[in-house]
Structure 1
Amino acid sequence: MSSSSGSLREKSRMFNVSVDQGNYISLRAFLGTLPIGGKLQDLIRDENDADLPSVEKFLEGLTLKSLKENLGKGLRGGTDRVAAAVDVGVEGEQQSIDTRDVHQRRLNVYAKDQRTYFDPDVYPDRTFGKLMFPASYYCTGQLIGKRYVLTAAHCFYSYGTSIDGDNIYHSKFRVAYHTDKEGKHYYAASSAWGRLWYGTTYPEVYRNSDWAIIELETPLGETQGYVGINPTDLSRQLPMYNKFSLIGYSEDGYSQTAGIDPKCSLEDAYQGVYFHNCDCAAGASGGALLDASFNVVGINTAHVMPSNTKLLRASDYNPTYPNIAVPAYQFMPTYAHILTQID
C-alpha cells in the first residue's frame, strides 16, 4: 500500500456501499475465456455518423437539475464531513456544461499524458469499440466473447431509471470504430443487441456494481477476436505499477479514434473497487483495464473529484483523487452463468 493509504481510506468513506446481491449468481467453476484471432472484415464507412457526446456529457445536459437535487442525498452528500468534502461522480459528471474550457481540462490525466491513438487493425485494440445509443450519446465497450460486450452500467441506467427507455435495446456496437485524417468515420463491423445483464440500476450509489454485459445479435468476436478475463482479486497485491493498459473513447481528443494508455497502475482498492491512474476522460467509461496477457482486470467507470471543482490539475498521480475501476471478479459470476447456462 502507498504511504497515503490511510488518508485515502478516510477520504473514501463515501464508498459505504453494499453489493447488490440480487443481481449475482455464484461462480460454480472458473471459466477461462481465451482470446482468439480472426480475419478482419472490410472497413465500413458511415457517411452520416454524427460526432456524439459521451453518456456523461449527455446526462449532464439532460438532467443537470435533477443531478444537483441529488447532491444532498445518499452517497453524494449526507452529514458525514468527509463524504461532503470529497465528491465521487460518474466520469465527467462534475464537468461544466460550458464547453469553452473543454480543451483546458486535464481530468483523469496524471503528469505527462501517456496516451496515443489505438490501432484498429491489431489485437487487442481491434476488440474495442463504441456503443452508439439512439438518444445520441456513446460509451466504450470491448468484446469478451463471440457475442458479448463488456461496458459500464451507467451507460444504460441512472438513479434506477433507463436513460433512454426501451431504446437502449435499439443501439449499436461498432467495433474498431475510428476516423481517418479527413474525419471520415470507419468501423470493422456493427451489431445490435437484444439482451443485457447489469450489476445495478443505481451506479451512482453502488459503485462496485457499475458493470454491464450485452449480447450481440451478430457474433463479431468470431472475426475480431476478444479479450480474456482475469477475475483474480488483486487487492492484497496493490500497488501494482505500470502493469496495465486502458483503451477508451475519451472526449478530450480521443472520442473518434480511441486513445490507449499503454502503461498504467492499480494504486489501491477499497470496498470492492480499484483505484487506478490510467489516463482517460469522460467517454472512456466502460473501457477495460487489461493486464499483460490482454485479460480484463477491471472496467473504468468513474473518478473521485473534490467537491465543487470542475478542474483537477495534478502534477503527478494524486491518490486522493484517483480514477475508479470495477474489478473483474464483480461481474465474473454472472458471465460464467451466461456461458454455462445461456450461451
Structure 2
Amino acid sequence: MTAHLTPKQLTDRTSAAVQAAVAAGRALGLTVTDPRVLHDLFSVVVHLAPAPVVARIPTVLPEPRDPAALERRQRDELDVAQWLADQGTPVIAPSPLVPREPVTRDGFSMTLWTYVDEDRARQPDYVANAESTAALHAALRAYPGRLEFLSAAEPDHITDSLARLEKHPDLISAADLDRARAEWQDLEPLVRSRTAFEARFPGAGLQPLHGDCPPANIFPGTRGDLYADFELVTLGPVEWDLAGLGPEHADAYDRGARRAGTRPLDREALAFVNAVGTLRIIATLTLVPQLPRLSDYLTPVIDQWRAG
C-alpha cells in the first residue's frame, strides 16, 4: 500500500510554506504582519498582508524534484504575465514591489504577485471563460520570448510516472496501466517532436499558450475578470488550452475566435490533446501520496477514460 501524507504532515507543509513566504517577503522589504492562506492545493497561495502582495509556493511536485526546471518555468510565467500586463491584457501581474524573479527560501521556490480583491459572490462561468480564452490567445500570439514546445504536457513526468505506477497497484490496476502505456507509446512522439506534430496536424499552427486550462484560471476580480496562473506557459496548438472540456466549451471558443479574428479549433488536434491530457491526469496519480484529496479530482476523469 502506498504511504500517504497524514493530515498533520499536510498541515505542517502548509505552515512551512507560509513561514517561508513571510520570511522571504520581509527580507524583500515588505511589511507582513497578517499572512492569510488564499488557496492550498498544488501550491500554497498566501496574501502577505497588509502588503498588497501574494506569494505562490508550489508544494506538490513530481519526484525526483528538479529545482532548476521549476525556476525556469517560474521565470517564463513571470515574463509572460508581465508582458501581457504591459500590452494592456487583463492579467494578474507580478508584484511591482519586488524584483520580478523567483525567490528561494527554506527549500521552497516562490513567485510574488499583485494582490487583487476577489468577487466571491460570482460563480465561474466556464463556457463564457472558454469564449474569452480566444482573446487571450490573440494577445499571446505576439509574445516575443522563447517557449518550449508542449512543455505543459510534461512528457518526462508521464513517462516516469507510468513506470513508477507499476509498483503502486493500489493507485491503478495492471490492465489500466497497460492500456495507458500503449496509448502513450502512440502519442509520445507527437508530444516530444514539434516536427512530428506539425507533420501530423499541418493546419493546427503553434503559438504561445497559457498551458493550464485558462477557462478554469480566470480570476473574478471585483473590477473585472483577470487571466491568471500561467505556471505551465508553453508553445503549442490553441487546442491544448481547451483539453478535457466539452463540446459546449469548444463551440464557445470558436465564437470567441471568430470575434478575435483567429482560427477555430481543429477537432482532430483537439482529440489529440484530450488524449494526452487524460494520460497526464493518470500520471498525476503518482502525486496522490503527497496530496491524498487529489483522488477526488482524478478518479472521475479516469473512470470516464476507462469506460470510453
Normalized per residue, the structure richer in strand is 1
Normalized per residue, the structure richer in helix is 2
Q: Which of the pair has the greater relative contact order for Cα pairs under 8 Å at 6+ separation?
A: 1
> Which structure is larger by alpha-carbon Rg, 1 or 2?
2
* TM-score range for the pair, normalised by the shorter chain length: under 0.3
